[in-house]
Amino acid sequence: MKKLATSHWETNNANDPTMNRIYWVVQECEDFFFNGGAETAVSKEKKLFQKFVGENENFPIPNAPVNRPLKMLDVGSCYNPFRNFDLFDVTAVDIAPASDDVIECDFLKTEIGEVDFLVESTYDVVLFSFLLEYLPEPKMRYACCLKAYKLLKPGGVLVILTPDSKHDTANSKIMKTWRLGLASIGFMRVNYKKLRHLRCMSYYKCRDSRSIRGWLELQKFDGSPEECIVIPQDSNPYDSESAKDEIFRSETDNIQLAVNFADLVNADVFVD
């Protein structure tokens, strides 16, 4: 995977930020924290807070401006592709690292506080790049996002990239359920873009989760939030009981993922 990504995918598209998913993440974080995105998110949350919590309640005071480098937790990092960007101070973890600077860690099974790099309210950015698809059940994906929420500082962002080669509206209902599920945790969506082969989104950790949960109540959603983080493959039969025991990326998985990336090498994946 590391060889494929570095020698083909990232190298071929290194000078074109519109095609390289690494650069999309960099630009998204740059825009949010240093080009007005955070201020816009705080303003939106404040309006929700006043509407659903009360104008007489005290809205949490925003943190001091974030400084460079941003503290990033890259979950499912593989080979730590963000290590060369001055914008980030990266902690990269993966259940099967492909690089010495990636920490071997089962993100779901490792408790917050169990290790020194998983501490509440530590990170400005948590990144899930092609991660959630490896988890076989919505509840596990939800738990992953809940843990990200706890690890983020108030006002931090969860950035999610998920593969999707279908047309723009094919899986729009799925993305809506993601938005609802993440709102139940306390995340407010601040950016979403459907590109040719993937969907990119960023979610802001509200300073008071009641702000976005008030919005959620207006949606008249009566399902279980833990079942919201669904993917198209969930409709296919599989042995979920055996998958619960341990989640890992097998060599077969690596080969299949490599094939998928190889199909994208010459595609304009960041062109609408």
Which runs of E-coded beta strand occur in 28-111? Answer: 70-75, 88-94, 103-104
9 in any annotated domain = no
> Does residue 107 carry a pLDDT above 60?
yes
Provide the number of structural domains found in the chain.
1
Q: What is the Cα–Cα distance from 250 to 272, expressed in whole angstroms?
A: 33
183 in any annotated domain = yes
Check residue 167 and give its pLDDT. Answer: 66
Domain hosting 240: range is: 24-264
99 in any annotated domain = yes
Mapped onto helix, strand or coil, the DSSP state of residue 7 is helix
Sheet of 123-129, strand order: 103-104, 88-94, 70-75, 123-129, 152-163, 198-205, 187-194
192 in any annotated domain = yes
pLDDT digits (tens, 9 = 90+) for 11-28: 544 555 445 788 899 999
pLDDT digits (tens, 9 = 90+) for 198-254: 889 999 999 999 999 999 999 988 889 999 999 988 876 444 444 444 445 544 444
251 in any annotated domain = yes
pLDDT digits (tens, 9 = 90+) for 46-87: 999 999 999 989 999 887 889 999 999 999 999 999 999 999
Looking at residue 219, what DSSP letter applies?
T
Question: Which CATH number do you get for residue 37?
Answer: 3.40.50.150
209 in any annotated domain = yes
91 in any annotated domain = yes
User: Taking phi first (over 0 means left), then psi (-120 to 50 degrees means alpha), and beta for anything else, what does residue 104 get?
Assistant: beta
pLDDT digits (tens, 9 = 90+) for 153-212: 999 999 999 998 776 667 788 999 999 999 999 999 999 988 778 889 999 999 999 999
Average pLDDT, the chain: 84
